[in-house]
Amino acid sequence: MHQDEIWDETTAAEYDTPGEGMFAPDVLGPIVDLLAELAEDGAALELAAGTGRVSIPLSERGVPVSGIELSRPMLDRLREKAPHLPVVEGDMTTTRVPGEFSLVFLVFNTISNILEQSGQVECFRNAARHLRPGGRFVIELWVPQLRSLPPGSPAAVFASEDGYVGLDTYDVLHQQVVSHHFRFGRGREASHGVSPHRYVWPAELDLMAQLAGFTLEGRYADWDRSLFTADSPSHVSVYRLPG
């Protein structure tokens, strides 16, 4: 399945959940707080800006924000909400945005949407091309939960709640995972959506950063700078170019 089949008009129309889920103030607040601090006195660039979940509130904090977004339906939705925010349609591994930035950020596991290691490396290099000396690249990414796989099984449930079951199927040889999203309505109503990913271990991510000229400045379990441990299901990693 190609990315344009996933991030289509239906997804864009249903993506925003104002005040709830990943749009809830207690979720967005710490993200915007940390990004605004790391931007210091410079501008920020969001890779895969989506519908502006993070870039819009960050710009409202006074940080000049630009963006890159591959999906035309998602980009159209962002422009409806924030026509003043400069966002370029394009691939985050190659598209160049005018200007120099103190911060580039890529949130919500989106680097895993790039399905080849070489493309993920190019994403780091493209971030570096946009940054001024001493600039930072921030990535939010989940940690592969291979320990949750039952012996001999390629699949594991990652979420089970009222009306929803999430299931991941793994190809551990090629570091590929497909997330299956099952949603249930009344009676026999049900839908199934899938999204493919290439999972990346934190140490592999650090090597990609090194290839692009970055060093790891900090890694946290969440946006509140909580301690990252071997049991953390995700991380926020801050990389920095030499100053």
Q: How many other β-carbons are positioned within 10 Å of the β-carbon of residue 174? A: 11
Residue 97 CA to residue 41 CA, distance in Å, equals 19
Residue 7 CA to residue 14 CA, distance in Å, equals 11
Whole-angstrom CA distances from 6 to 9, 10, 198, 221 are 9, 9, 15, 28
Residue 110's nearest CA partner among 186, 39, 53, 188 is: 53
The yes-or-no verdict on residue 1 having pLDDT over 60 is: no
Predicted confidence at residue 13, as pLDDT, reads 79
Q: Which CATH superfamily is domain 3-143+200-240 in?
A: Vaccinia Virus protein VP39 (3.40.50.150)
Predicted confidence at residue 16, as pLDDT, reads 77
Q: Where does the pLDDT of residue 12 fall: very low under 50, low under 70, confident under 90, or very high at 90 and above? A: confident
DSSP 11: H
Determine if residue 92 is left, alpha or beta; phi over 0 gives left, psi from -120 to 50 gives alpha, anything else beta: alpha
Cβ-contact 94, 35 below 8 angstroms: no
Predicted confidence at residue 227, as pLDDT, reads 98
DSSP 62: T
Q: Where does the pLDDT of residue 164 fall: very low under 50, low under 70, confident under 90, or very high at 90 and above? A: very high
Predicted confidence at residue 4, as pLDDT, reads 59
Predicted confidence at residue 3, as pLDDT, reads 65
Residue 77 CA to residue 227 CA, distance in Å, equals 35
Predicted confidence at residue 2, as pLDDT, reads 61
Residue 105's nearest CA partner among 80, 83, 130, 75 is: 130
End-to-end C-alpha distance for the chain, whole angstroms: 41
Residues with Cβ within 8 Å of residue 169, at least 6 apart in sequence = 154, 155, 177, 178, 180
pLDDT tens column, 76-130? 999 999 999 999 999 999 999 999 999 999 999 999 999 999 999 999 999 999 9
Average the pLDDT over each of 9-13, 29-33, 59-63 and give the range with the smallest value.
9-13
Tell me which of 133 and 151 has the higher pLDDT: 133
pLDDT tens column, 171-200? 999 999 999 999 998 888 999 989 999 999
Predicted confidence at residue 93, as pLDDT, reads 98
Determine if residue 207 is left, alpha or beta; phi over 0 gives left, psi from -120 to 50 gives alpha, anything else beta: alpha
Whole-angstrom CA distances from 3 to 90, 141, 177, 197 are 12, 18, 14, 10
β-sheet bridge partners, residue 177? 170, 197
What the block records as the tokens of 131 is: 């940054």
pLDDT tens column, 19-42? 988 999 999 999 999 999 999 999
Percent of all residues in the chain with a pLDDT value above 70, rounded to a whole number: 98
Average the pLDDT over each of 8-12, 57-61, 63-67 and give the range with the smallest value.
8-12
Tell me which of 13 and 37 has the higher pLDDT: 37
* Cut 0.85: pTM above it: yes
Residue 195 CA to residue 158 CA, distance in Å, equals 14
